[in-house]
Amino acid sequence: MHTKSFRIDRYISQQLGINRRDIKLMLAQGRVVINGEIIVEVTTMVAEFDRVECDGKVLQNKTPLYIMLNKPTGVVSATKDDQHTTVVDLLEGYSRAELESLHIVGRLDLNTSGLLLLTNDSAWSRKLMSPQAKVHKVYQVELANDLNEDYSLAFAKGMYFSYEDITTQPAELKILSNNVAEVVLTEGKYHQIKRMFGRFRNPVLALHRSAVGHLCLDPLLKPGQSRRLTPKEVNAI
């Protein structure tokens, strides 16, 4: 996601169909207001959630949305799909415009459940999912066969996948019971957890994400339910 930020002359030109050369006069006349402040400089940038007014008309007044969803299995991580129920279809209490503005922060596979984040803040999601950020994602994994310490050592070392010519970042694996493990990743390669366990010929029966960074899935949310993040949660993650 790219940050949606434009120079004020370009922004007004796109919104109102006015020649960019004429916008300098509008600015000089004090007809453009951003967040309550009269703007006169043509180089002023308009950010994604700035309130922009021109001649008293509101051109933009977008509120940031940050949503936590307990994704059930069988629901696709997409905003639109002609065949499956999408995660956006599960959201209640939002306007059509709000729902259409959302994008998914770190998708989950069709048969993976748990914490899924949605937002309309592209800068926030980009920062969260950047490989450089190395934000931890915590998963509980149920497997067909028993586990042993060889798994922990292999995950901690990283695994080479020849198809993409990559070696996974070190991952933490904690054995919770004979065939259940907690896995902590700092990346999200294609079907990464299933493929890593596939090296041991141990099929994944169930996969559930319980945390992203410091944000844990709200235990009060049943599968399919969602809520807005608190300001503290937004900032902490």
Q: pLDDT by residue (tens digit) across 125-176? A: 988 888 788 899 999 999 999 999 999 999 999 999 988 899 999 999 999 9
76 & 22 share domain: no
173 & 232 share domain: yes
Report the CATH number at residue 19: 3.10.290.10
Residue 16 structure tokens: 């109102």
- Residue environment code for 164-200, b if the CB has 16+ CB neighbours within 10 A, otherwise e: eeeebeebebeeeeeeebebebeeeeeebbbebbeee
160 & 232 share domain: yes
Residue 1 lies in a domain: no
Residue 22 lies in a domain: yes
117 & 221 share domain: yes
Residue 118 lies in a domain: yes
Residue 225 lies in a domain: yes
Q: How far is CA 14 from CA 42, 67, 148, in A?
A: 15, 30, 60
Q: How many domains does the chain fold into?
A: 2
Q: pLDDT by residue (tens digit) across 5-54? A: 889 999 999 999 999 889 999 999 999 999 999 999 999 999 889 999 99
201 & 86 share domain: yes
Residue 33 lies in a domain: yes
pLDDT tier for residue 3 given thresholds of 50, 70 and 90 = low
Catalytic residue among 109, 121, 146, 218: 109
110 & 149 share domain: yes
Average pLDDT of every residue of the chain:
93
Give the end of a domain, one of 33, 60, 87. Answer: 60
User: Is residue 50 among the annotated active site residues?
Assistant: no
- The rounded distance, in Å, linking the Cα atoms of 5 and 56 is 22
106: left (phi over 0), alpha (psi -120 to 50) or beta: left
193 & 223 share domain: yes
46 & 77 share domain: no
Residue 12 is part of which domain span? 6-60
- The rounded distance, in Å, linking the Cα atoms of 180 and 185 is 16
Report the CATH number at residue 198: 3.30.2350.10
